[in-house]
Amino acid sequence: MQTIRLYGKSMAMLIRSQLQYPASFLMQTLAQLVMEGGEMLAVILLVQRFDHLNQWTAGNLYFFFGLMAVSFYITECFGRGITGAFPSMVRTGQLDTLLLRPRGVLTQVLCSAVDPRRITCIAVGIVSLVLGSRLSAIRWSFPKILLLLESIFCSFWLILGLFMIEAVLCIYSVKSVELANTLTYGGRSACQYPVDTYPRTLRILFTVVAPFALVMHIPASHILDKPLFAWPAWTAFVTPLAGFVLFGVMYLLFTSAMQHYRSAGN
C-alpha cells in the first residue's frame, strides 16, 4: 500500500517536471504519434494488398495490433525506469543512491522515471482496438471485457520482465544490449500479428520463452471468437498468467544480479 502511494507521488512529481518544457514535450509526443501511426500505416497497407492473413481478416489484424500497441506502450510509459533509464542509472552510479534508501531497489527504479509521451502511442493502439472490434463485429460481453483487461495487465508484466533481461545484463556490465532487444522490440514487431503466422521455431519462442502468444494471442483469439487452439474457454483466462511467471523469474534474476553488484562493486 505504501509502495503504491510512493509510486503515485513519484509519478505526479515526474510528470510535473516534464511539463516544465512544454514545447519539447509536445514535439516529442507528436513524434511518438507519427511513429506509431507509421507502424499502423504499415499494417493497413499490408491489409490493402493482401486482404487477410491466414484466417484473420483486416479487422482481426487491427485488433491484434491494437492489443500489442496498448500493452507495449503502457509498459514503456510506466515501466520507463526499467525500459529506458536503467543503463544510465548503473553507469552514473545513481543506483548507489537507491541502495542508500530504505526501500526495495526495483520499486525505486520504477518510481524514478515515467514517459508520458507514450500516451499518443497508446491512443493509436486504442483507436486500432476500436477499429478492429468494429470491423470484426465483436459481440462484447462482461467476460470478454475482463479478458481483454487481464490480457493487457499481464502483458505489462510480461514486457517489463523481458526488458529486465537488459537490466540484468547491464548490472553484469555486459554491453550487448542489442541482443536483449531481439526479445523486446523483436517480440513487439513479430507479435503484433497472431503467432500462427510464423513457423514452428518462432511459435515455440513466442509461446515458451517470451510467451506473447499465451498472454495476448490466446485471449484475443477468444475475444474474436476464433480460438487459436480448441481448448476450453476458461483456459484463455489462465494462459495470460504466464506474464507473471516470466516477471517472477526475472525478478529473482534481478535480485541475484543486485547481490553480484553489491559484492563486485564498481
Partner 1 sequence: MNAYYAVFRLRRRLETQYRGAVIGGLICQVFFGLILIALYRALYAGKPQMLPFSHVATYVWLQQAFFRMLLASDAELMDKVRTGGIAYDLCRPMNLYGFYYARILAQKLTGCLLRAAPMLLFAALLPEGWGISLPVSLPALLWALAAWVLGLFCVSALENITMAFTMRTLDPRGMQAMMNLLMMILAGNVLPLTLFPDSWQPVLTALPHAQLLDAPIRIYTGEYALSQAGLILLRQAGWTAALICTGMLFWRRNQRRLVIQGG
Partner 2 sequence: MSYIHVEGLCKHFDIRLKREKGSLIRGKKRVQALQDVSFDVEQGELVGYIGPNGAGKSTTVKILSGILTPDEGTVTVGGRVPWKERKAHVRRIGVVFGQRMQLWWDVPIADSFELLKEIWHIPDNAYHKRLAELAEALRLEDLLRTPLRQLSLGQRMRAELCGSLLHSPELLFLDEPTIGLDAVTKLALRDFLLWENREHHTTILLTTHDMEDIAALCSRVMVLGRGQKLYDGQLSELLSRYDTQRILTVRYDRMPVLPELPAPVSAVAENETLRLTCRTADLDMDTLLPLLQQAGTIRELIVQPQNIDHLIAAMYQEMGL
Which residues here bind partner 2, judged by CB under 8 A? 2, 5-6, 9-10, 13-14, 16-18, 20, 92-94, 96-97, 99-103, 108, 173, 259, 262-265
What span, in angstroms and rounded, lies between the C-alpha atoms of 15 and 77?
Answer: 11
Q: Which is nearer to partner 2, 232 or 265 (CB)?
A: 265
Q: Considering CB distances under 5 to 8 angstroms, the limit depending on partner class, which of partner 2, partner 1, none binds residue 94?
A: partner 2
Q: Which is nearer to partner 1, 143 or 186 (CB)?
A: 186
Q: Which is nearer to partner 1, 3 or 24 (CB)?
A: 24
Task: Please count the residues of this chain forming the interface with partner 1, following the rule CB under 8 A.
Answer: 38
235 in contact with partner 1 (CB under 8 A)? no
Least distance from C-beta 101 to partner 2, angstroms? 5
Closest CA to 239 of 207, 205, 263: 207
Q: Considering CB distances under 5 to 8 angstroms, the limit depending on partner class, which of partner 1, partner 2, none binds residue 50?
A: partner 1
Cross-strand pairs, 53? 56
Cell of 244: 507473471
C-alpha radius of gyration, the chain, whole number: 19
Q: Which is nearer to partner 1, 106 or 124 (CB)?
A: 124
Least distance from C-beta 20 to partner 1, angstroms? 12
Q: Which is nearer to partner 1, 176 or 263 (CB)?
A: 176
Closest CA to 145 of 241, 237, 243: 237
Cell of 239: 494462459
On whether the CB atoms of residues 84 and 116 are closer than 8 A, the answer is no
What span, in angstroms and rounded, lies between the C-alpha atoms of 244 and 175?
Answer: 27
Closest CA to 63 of 147, 139, 132: 132
Q: Which is nearer to partner 1, 19 or 30 (CB)?
A: 30
Q: What are phi and psi of 53, to 5 degrees?
A: -130, 110
Q: Which is nearer to partner 2, 93 or 199 (CB)?
A: 93
What span, in angstroms and rounded, lies between the C-alpha atoms of 222 and 211?
Answer: 17
Residues between 143 and 202 that touch partner 1 (CB under 8 A): 174-179, 181-182, 186, 189-190, 193, 197-199, 202
Least distance from C-beta 265 to partner 2, angstroms? 5
What span, in angstroms and rounded, lies between the C-alpha atoms of 68 and 46?
Answer: 17
Closest CA to 106 of 174, 167, 154: 167
Q: Considering CB distances under 5 to 8 angstroms, the limit depending on partner class, which of partner 2, partner 1, none binds residue 227?
A: none
What span, in angstroms and rounded, lies between the C-alpha atoms of 28 and 81?
Answer: 18
Q: Considering CB distances under 5 to 8 angstroms, the limit depending on partner class, which of partner 1, partner 2, none binds residue 190?
A: partner 1
DSSP E strands in the chain: the ranges are none
Binding site for partner 1 (CB under 8 A): 21, 24, 27-28, 30-32, 34-35, 38-39, 41-42, 45-46, 48-54, 174-179, 181-182, 186, 189-190, 193, 197-199, 202
